[in-house]
Structure 1
């Protein structure tokens, strides 16, 4: 940790945070930071003029069209990296050169090799690195972990986790051209396994310890250049738990009310995350959805905190990161944790590829 910066934090009433990338998730982080006590957000960067205008309207004093220029021009304590994955490594390296701690949107990197490069740069500069793995902060998932750890269901031999989204194309009918990078495997690092499965790997290791990927299948329900569905069979040796993970970016007309389902089958009972949803979850989600539809019609900004159930988790993850850097502590979800989730995803990709190759080389037998 940079001791000069630590002195700045302890002698100042607020932590100065810049936001690199203010698209959809970047606006979530921006509004979280603006609402956070003891945090000042003087600047944001984005290549798109409409995003910069939106950030200014939200309350940022200065905007830049290039994040490197922001890091060179502003006196920051920390930066939120909410850029597409192909820019994460460069942004972290630029922040490290400026002595600025970083909170990085998932996936942390596109590969473990890239993650190693980022962590080396951070370590050399003495900066803290946090990763936005928010499933750990959702109250339903926290409820599952607490109940599991109290031992009330005993040994858990089997578990399942599913995470769904409507993908880069959005809901039908598609009326706007989607961004290019989510459909570019080189830019994104992968498809739904990296976009959605990465959350699942992180929370499963949080629950069960080390994971071993045993088999995996990946595929496309639509004709896309990246996978939009993946299923992975996992073994957790510390707890002797077999786990099925499924993630999918489907072109839903209407997403399921809960896009993450986690279920633990214990020998004396079952734990499901649905048991720990807030009592007003469905009503709040419906109300927020209607309000956001109305905002699109009127041209006003939608409320990025609705449904608050999901987006409050982003706030809490960022708040934990801020507390950690203020106290010169390792962030609760650090860069090394982001790399671990990538390792599991890479193994799943490799396993799926080997499985496909084995199927292709099976000799045809005729009688």
Structure 2
């Protein structure tokens, strides 16, 4: 099949990637790319001087305070867009001007309307768009999918997924103000549903096929402009499965060791992602935490390592790079990212139609 994407060199030259935004997740992508064989990262961009310093210490030759300047100056095959959501569309448009493929941090955009414009621009330019939906790369989720497809539990009439994260103020005690943009609905498009829920939607469609939203409710545990808790009821027509999704960003002192819980209730048994965690998961997590605490005291946090969660980001970016080399559609494409956004928009619309009581946060036991 002929590819829609522009031709790539077939020689053995490394794939050249620029990283746009080297804050928290941007540094994960940067260090992932630096660790990959056959990939080079000549440049990174960030408006924050301290972030540029970190990128240089990590091994990047050149840094820019403006991502547009980087795209204009560097000869790149691809760019990682790890900027705040309100800059995603503009960054993709700039990359398209130079024929540069893009790997975009989730959510792809702030709305399906914005996503459609991005994908239209990308199609006209012949560039590939990948999205960093990483749950499907975690070994526990891969294990759930394998067990489900083996058919051992039969038909699955009901499933549930919960995804949690730190709240917008960080773990208590909150002694510094958070950045303003994550709490600005115009900058991010929404709260926990876009931050966490789109991951859930993506992995559920990966398991059950296309989803329909039946009901939703949003809540705020803090007095902030965006929701920090959301519950969505879904239906998978292809498999006849009813699914509940809950996502929340809470001010917990310590998050559970596993912050995503997936459970499939089959007619002859149950599958959970806990059953498919790597045997050394808890030891590795504890060791990584200690290493990062020590490095914060004496130097630079590790950020990337072959650990459970961060490895999924590495594998997602590596798959995108392989697709770029082969002139193929990325395995998690812009259309995948757009579908997750569409589900979130429907959930927001349904929640807005209901005059809801304050959301009761379900108990989640570690």
TM-score, normalised to structure 1, is 0.95
Describe the superposition over 1:14-43 as per-residue Cα deviations: whole angstroms up to 9, x where unpaired: 101000000000000000000000001000
**1:185-334 counterparts in 2 under 5 A?**
185-298=185-298, 300-305=299-304, 308-334=307-333
What CA distance in whole angstroms lies between the structure 2 residues aligned with 1:4 and 1:40? 20
The SS at the match of 2:177 is coil
Distance 1:198 1:186 in 2: 18
Question: Residues 6 and 126 of structure 2 are in contact (CA less than 8 Å); yes or no, is this contact kept in structure 1?
Answer: no
Moved more, 142-151 or 285-294: 285-294
Alpha-carbon distance between aligned partners in 2 of 1:252 and 1:307, rounded to the nearest angstrom: 26
Runs of 4+ in 1 over 4 A off after TM superposition: 1-5
Q: Could you tell me which residue of structure 1 aligns to residue 334 of structure 2?
A: 335
2:98 is matched with which residue?
A: 98
Partner of 1:353: 352
In the alignment, structure 1 segments of 5+ residues that lack a partner are: 360-367
Equivalent residue of 1:6, what SS? coil
Tell me how far 1:177 sits from its aligned partner: 1.4
Aligned to 1:177: 177
Contact conserved, 2:85 with 2:108, CA < 8 A, in 1? yes
Question: When the two structures are aligned, how many residues end up with a matched partner?
Answer: 355
Structure 2 Cα separation of the partners of residues 70 and 174 of structure 1: 35
CA distance in 1, matches of 2:277, 2:29: 23
Corresponding residue of 1:6: 8
Which residue of the partner structure matches residue 29 of structure 1?
29
SS in 2 for 1:11: coil
- Tell me the alpha carbon deviations over residues 93-142 of structure 1, each in whole angstroms, 9 at most, x when there is no partner: 00001100000000000000000000001000000000000000000000
TM-score (normalizing by structure 2): 0.95
Shift, 1:2, TM fit: 7.7
Task: Decide whether aligned partners of structure 1 residues 136 and 165 sit closer, same or farther in structure 2, where only a CA change above 3 A counts.
Answer: same
Q: Report the equivalent of 1:364.
A: none
Contact 1:2–1:125 under 8 Å retained in 2: no
**Structure 2 counterpart SS, 1:233:** strand
Distance (whole Å) between structure 2 residues aligned to residue 217 and residue 37 of structure 1: 45
